Structures are given as structure tokens and as C-alpha cells.
Chains A and B, each alone.
Chain A
Amino acid sequence: MKKRSIVPYGPQHPVLPEPIHLDLVIEDEKIVEAIPSVGFIHRGLENLVQKRDFNQMAYVAERVCGICSFGHGFGYCEAIEDIMDIEVPDRAKYLRTIWFELSRMHSHFLWLGLLADGFGFENLFYQCWRIREKILDVLELTTGGRVIFSVNKVGGVMKDITPEMAGAILDMLASVKKELKAIVPAFTQDYSVKSRLVGVGVLTKQQAHDLGCAGPFARASGIQTDMRKLGYAAYGDLDFDVITSNDGDSYARCVVRINEIFQSISIIEQAIEKMPDGELAAVVKGNPQGESFIRIEQPRGEAIYYVSANGSPHLDRMRVRTPTFANLAGLCETLKGADYADVGLLILTIDPCISCTER
């Protein structure tokens, strides 16, 4: 047997956006095994349900993560609405869909930038984040926040999108589409970029299925999984396909996410066109009693919200299963046999969000 050594990787590492620690067992330059450990930024947010009432918790749930914040607030509110049998007005459903897709777009742009940074293409990195800024501006215009929106409440939404704002969103989408098209070839055709992505970190369909992977990571391995197809919010009325790829490598993950940005643009355009008039929120009376289990599609994959309520303003339990947690097992599998130099890039390809994972 060749000599094996263990290299600690993270939690502080230039390529890591968030703290995760991996013990890499290496033989020469090849990874034999990766052992993850998390727990550096646990904040005990789930425990707060016993101290804050269920309306206040909507604001706390939103702060589980700084990038997919909208989805967390949304999933929590859906769960409470499910328990209390609240029918959310149609307009609120469409507004939620629009904001959800906008946040998916900015999350994917963020990821594309980090990926470019990961393989050392700083110019491309800044181009991605420059485009992302336009989405953030529109989000600030419509919700008042750039990444934390605070527009969801139990029963509906708090703010409306006026016709002028809808116009601003459509203008932004048109320009983002044009600018994204200009930078896509750099990701998909450039020789050097391809040499860092194609065939790196392959995860087969069977492996992805067995390890319970979620989101774009699983879709890039050919698994048809997209919780939006469950038809929550307004997704049932809108036309979109699940984007998959059969390659299962880093390149496929990149292409899937790029196509999802175009898909989000189309979903928002449809939603703005079809959005009905009406109320923004239903009246909420009393306290929730019972339990609920909600699955939604976050930018990083399927997230699960479990809420158990006892009829008082304070809930018994809230549990969030985040997509990154589901993808960690898949990540360790892709790392096996990889070059040491690719580790940073491979960690990025699952789009890790450690803050959500640890809450």
C-alpha cells in the first residue's frame, strides 16, 4: 500500500465561501476518502420557536440563510398555512413565485461567479456579480431588501408589485438575458474552462439516487427531481420543464444552473403576465395546532420544513432539512479519486450553503 496522509481542509480556506471542514485522506495527489465535519456556525434558530410566537418566527426562519432567505421564510409560512388551513390569495401566490424565482436567479449568478473564481477566472467572476447586482436592485425596489426581503407572512405577503415595478422587472430580465448570453460561451466553450470542468467529479445517476442528492446537483446526474413540479404557490399554472443532464460532471452542473437562470426568466415573465388582481393576504385567526411537512425547491435543491404546533402561539418544533445537507454525501463520493487541486472546485459545484445546513 502506498503511503497515505490526511490533509485538513477548511473551515478557513480561500476557496470556501462558508466554513466546512473536510479531512482528506490522500495518496500522492489523489483523494482516497473525504470525511466532512460541520458545526462551526450553529446558531440554534430551530430552538427559537419555543421562545418566539409563530408570526415572529417567519422573520427568524427567513434568516436561516443569507442567500436562499426567501425560500426559508416561504417554506415556513406554507407549513403554518397548511396546518391552519389558510387559503392564500391568488395574487400573493404569484408574487411569492416571482420573488422566489428572482432569488433563485441571484443565487445562481452568485454561484456562477464563485465557480469562475474557483477556477481562477477573476474577470468572469466580476461579470457574473455585476449582472447579479441588477437583480438585487430590482429586489430592493420591490421588497426593500437586497437579500433578506421580509415580505412573507403567515397568510400571504406584505407588499405588492405595482405595474411600474413589474415593468422594471421585465426590463431587467431582458437586459440580464442579453448579458448572460454574452458570457455563457466563456463557461461552456472556453478550452481552459472546459479542461477544469469536463469529466471532473463525476457522479452517476445511480450514485446520486442512492446518496439522496438534491437540486441541480442531482439533476446534473440525470435525476428528474424538481419540487416546483408539486405545484405549490403559482408553479402549477406556469409552464416549465425540469432541466437535467446525463453527464454528471462539474460541467453538467454548470450548464444545468445556467439553463435554470433562463428558465427562471421565462417563469417570471409568465407569472407577471398571468398575475391576477386581488388581496395580498388572508386573515389569520387563532393559533396553529397540528403538524405539517412541506417540500419546496430552493436554489440549491429540495428543502423540507416540518412544523409541529400545540395550539399556543409558540410552536413545539420546527425542523429544516436543507439541500446542502442532502448533498454532502454526494460531495464526498465525487471527491473520491479526484485530484487534490480539484477539491475546492468540487466543493463549489454542490453550491454549499453551510449556514442553512447548521442553522
Chain B
Amino acid sequence: MAVMKFIPETLKNLFKAPVTTAYPFEPAEYPERSRGHISIEIDDCIGCGMCVRACPLGALKVDKNEGTWEINRFDCIVCGYCVEKCPKKCLSVQTGYQTPGGDKTSELFKKSEEALRAEAEKKAEAARKAAEAKAALEAKKKAEKTEA
């Protein structure tokens, strides 16, 4: 009759070191691929909103005019679909889990002043070029008319 089949294993346990990590006294280690949270290089974002449309949870908000990108980390399931869809590749999955909190707040990222200024300058430049092209076209038309 086999009784107490487990005694050898149990005895071994008495002399083995614990298999658990003494977190938080020892830091937790995550492998490189661990899906902890989503991070953004906000200055590269063009505000296209592809990530907002991709997100199955509706955890994202983008405002192109304000240059902001907002994520509700409590809704996000870190599926990584937004990362795959972003055309500028400015989103990425990082290790390290979302810390728990008392209320569901969103995290807001805003473009830096320089990036906003550069963008505004770019826009102004583009508008100026467009206006110039338009003026040139009209002048050409006028000239053609007078010629005719």
C-alpha cells in the first residue's frame, strides 16, 4: 500500500530556497516582449487618428489641433493593435505594468512647444506656398486672357 508518497518531495521543500521573488524588495524582471503599457513618442505623432479607430476598447483620444494624445490606461488591455496600425511608428509596447489607482484617470500627452511651433511653421510655409502658386496661376491666366 502506497501511503505518504509525497514525503520525499515535502522533505526537499524544507531545504530549498523559496521559488518566489521577494517583491517589492527585489525588483520584478520582465522579458523584453512583456506587454506592460503603451508609450508614445508624441512629437512624431501626426494626429491621424488611426490608433483611435483601431483600438477595440476605445481607450484613446487624439486631438490634432491641440497636438494631444490621451490614453485611459484602465481601459487599455495592451493588445498592441494601435501600435501595429500607427503609420508613423511612434507608438510602442513597453515593459512594466500599469500601477493600480483609486480612480480611472487618463494620461494626457501634449506635443512640446518646439514641435508645435515647427508644425505651425510648416503649416504656414505650406499655406504661403499654396497662396504663391495660386497667385502665379491667376497671373498666368490673366496674361493668357490679355494675350488673347
Cα of A158 to Cα of B4 in the assembled complex, Å: 47
From 1 to 53 in chain B, residues with beta carbon under 8 angstroms from any chain A beta carbon are 1-6, 9-10, 13, 19, 30-31, 33-35
Central interface residue in B2, B30, B77, B78, by most chain A CB within 10 Å: B2
The answer to whether B2 touches A63 (Cβ under 8 A) is no
The answer to whether B84 touches A158 (Cβ under 8 A) is yes
- Neighbouring B residues of A148 by C-beta, 8 Å: 77
Taking a contact as CB atoms closer than 8 A, the residue among A60, A145, A191 that contacts B2 in the complex is A191
Is A269 in the interface zone, CB < 8 Å from B? no
- Neighbouring B residues of A159 by C-beta, 8 Å: 33
Is B54 in the interface zone, CB < 8 Å from A? yes
From 123 to 176 in chain A, residues with beta carbon under 8 angstroms from any chain B beta carbon are 123-124, 127, 130, 133, 137, 140-145, 148, 150, 158-159
Given contacts A141-B33, A145-B35, contact A123 B2 (CB under 8 A): no
Is A52 in the interface zone, CB < 8 Å from B? yes
Given contacts A52-B56, A130-B19, A159-B33, contact A59 B81 (CB under 8 A): yes
The answer to whether B54 touches A56 (Cβ under 8 A) is yes
The answer to whether A123 touches B81 (Cβ under 8 A) is no
The answer to whether B34 touches A144 (Cβ under 8 A) is yes
Is B116 in the interface zone, CB < 8 Å from A? no
B128 to chain A, nearest CB (A): 40
Is A182 in the interface zone, CB < 8 Å from B? yes
Q: Considering only CB atoms and an 8 Å cut-off, how many residues of chain A contact the other chain? A: 32
B39 to chain A, nearest CB (A): 14
- Neighbouring A residues of B10 by C-beta, 8 Å: 123
Is A185 in the interface zone, CB < 8 Å from B? yes
- Neighbouring A residues of B3 by C-beta, 8 Å: 190-192
Cα of A140 to Cα of B93 in the assembled complex, Å: 14
B55 to chain A, nearest CB (A): 8
Which partner residue on chain B sits nearest A193 by CB separation? B5
Is A86 in the interface zone, CB < 8 Å from B? no
Cα of A127 to Cα of B2 in the assembled complex, Å: 20
- Neighbouring B residues of A55 by C-beta, 8 Å: 81
Given contacts A59-B56, A190-B3, contact A127 B9 (CB under 8 A): yes
Taking a contact as CB atoms closer than 8 A, the residue among B1, B4, B9, B80 that contacts A150 in the complex is B80
- Neighbouring A residues of B33 by C-beta, 8 Å: 140-144, 159
Is B79 in the interface zone, CB < 8 Å from A? yes
- Neighbouring A residues of B4 by C-beta, 8 Å: 190
Cα of A318 to Cα of B80 in the assembled complex, Å: 23
A-B contact count (CB 8 A): 66
Which partner residue on chain B sits nearest A55 by CB separation? B81
The answer to whether A185 touches B56 (Cβ under 8 A) is no
Mostly, the A contact residues are helix
Central interface residue in B19, B30, B31, B81, by most chain A CB within 10 Å: B31
The answer to whether A140 touches B34 (Cβ under 8 A) is yes
A2 to chain B, nearest CB (A): 36
Cα of A186 to Cα of B3 in the assembled complex, Å: 9
Cα of A143 to Cα of B93 in the assembled complex, Å: 12
- Neighbouring A residues of B79 by C-beta, 8 Å: 59, 150
A95 to chain B, nearest CB (A): 14
Cα of A145 to Cα of B30 in the assembled complex, Å: 10
From 171 to 204 in chain A, residues with beta carbon under 8 angstroms from any chain B beta carbon are 182-183, 185-186, 189-192
Which partner residue on chain A sits nearest B1 by CB separation? A191
The answer to whether B5 touches A186 (Cβ under 8 A) is yes
- Neighbouring A residues of B6 by C-beta, 8 Å: 121, 123-124, 183, 185-186, 190
Cα of A186 to Cα of B79 in the assembled complex, Å: 40
Taking a contact as CB atoms closer than 8 A, the residue among B9, B19, B30, B77 that contacts A63 in the complex is B77
A141 to chain B, nearest CB (A): 4
Closest 10 CB pairs of A and B: A144-B33, A56-B56, A144-B35, A189-B2, A141-B31, A59-B79, A190-B5, A186-B6, A185-B5, A191-B3
A-B contact pairs, 10 of them (CB 8 A): A123-B9, A127-B9, A140-B31, A141-B31, A144-B31, A145-B34, A185-B5, A186-B9, A190-B3, A190-B6
Chain B positions within 8 Å of A, measured between CB atoms, are: 1-6, 9-10, 13, 19, 30-31, 33-35, 54, 56, 77-81, 84, 93
Contacts A150-B78, A183-B6 supplied; 4 other A-B pairs, CB < 8 Å: A57-B56, A140-B31, A142-B33, A158-B84
Chain A positions within 8 Å of B, measured between CB atoms, are: 52, 55-57, 59-60, 63, 121, 123-124, 127, 130, 133, 137, 140-145, 148, 150, 158-159, 182-183, 185-186, 189-192
